Amino acid sequence: MHLTGRKSWTVMSLLLALALAGCTSTSVNRAPVEDRGVGGAPSAAGIDPATLPGAENAGKPGYHTVKAGDTVMQIAREHNQNWRDIARWNNLENSNLIEVGQVLRVVPPAGAPAPARPPAAAVATQTTPGVAPAPAPAAAATPAPAPAATPAPPSAGADDVDFIWPANGTLVASFDEAKNKGLGIAGKAGDPVLAAADGRVVYAGAGLRGYGNLIILKHNNTFLTAYAHNQALLVKEDQSVKRGQKIAEMGSTDADRVKLHFEIRRSGKPVDPARYLPSR
């Protein structure tokens, strides 16, 4: 299958950055990166890396020096950013063309809106509508200091996600860090595949051989989930989805049977989904 433009390098970068194992993969060409020398030494072409865009920021926090084989999508994933933001912050007219030694900003510039975060803290401080606050204690003759707030019980991090099972079928493959980066869930062709949590579609297509029709959701700056081998995709890239929403129909594309290959990635690394899913 031949892909061009944004779809092509998106697919290539997803393969490189996520390395979705558990399905058979194939090699693809990287987005073009021009090697102009690294470490201050001019390349064979005679171009000093110090003259490349952003060279003055090399080594500073919030910046990434491009290495051979890097892509904008891969760099964005490494730094938990959206590739479109990386392109905008660095005025990249063609995101497919970055140069070895070029220094890219990977954090928002001053004044730019911060990346969206789950509203967990805000929810914790909201007042339930229609419920009056508790009456204040009677005033004492001598004002007493306000009582200290009761410490909240230990809880999950702000970026943790409450996942649900993406399908109801029988578990036919367990997580194995070396051989299978996710779970295999059997079912019938057309069975619903559900979003395991609220998120945004960062990939929907069939450009990665061995995965069939694939969907990847980004839930926050920490977690991604992947859903492979579908017979039909019901969402598009950049679409927001809700936990439990039907996003695909189970199938056998690029698989030996009807099944869903499901992965959870934490900070880009595969983790055992069974540790994050509720017990059945």
Q: How many helices (H) and strands (E) does the chain have?
A: 4, 15
Structure tokens at 34: 């021009």
- Both tokens of 14, joined, read 């997803």
> 160-184: per-residue pLDDT in tens?
899 999 999 999 999 998 888 899 9
Q: Residue 158 contacts by C-beta under 8 Å, 6 or more apart in sequence?
A: 117, 118, 120, 121
- The structure tokens listed for 13 are 């970068």
Distances (CA, A) of 97 to 52, 90, 102: 13, 12, 11
Q: List pLDDT tens digits, range 44-76.
A: 344 556 667 777 888 888 899 988 888 888 888
pLDDT for position 71: 86
Map tokens 């401080």 to a residue: 125
pLDDT tens for each residue of 127-142: 334 444 445 445 445 5
What is residue 38's predicted lDDT score, i.e. its pLDDT? Answer: 35
CATH number of the domain located at residue range(s) 31-105 in this protein: 3.10.350.10
Q: How many CB atoms lie within 10 A of CB 49?
A: 22
With cut-offs at 50, 70 and 90, classify the pLDDT of residue 153. very low
Residues with Cβ within 8 Å of residue 229, at least 6 apart in sequence:
23, 211, 212, 213, 250, 251, 252, 253, 254, 255, 258, 259, 260, 261
Q: Where in the chain is the domain with CATH 2.70.70.10?
A: 171-275
CATH topology of domain 171-275: Glucose Permease (Domain IIA) (2.70.70)
| Model confidence band, residue 21 (pLDDT cutoffs 50, 70, 90) | very low
Q: Give residue-wise pLDDT tens across range 1-15.
A: 444 445 544 444 555
Single pTM value for the model: 0.50
CB 217 within 8 A of CB 202: yes
Q: Would you say the C-alpha torsion 225, 221, 89, 50 has a positive or negative sign? A: negative
How big, in percent rounded to 5, are the helix, strand and coil portions of the chain? 15, 25, 60
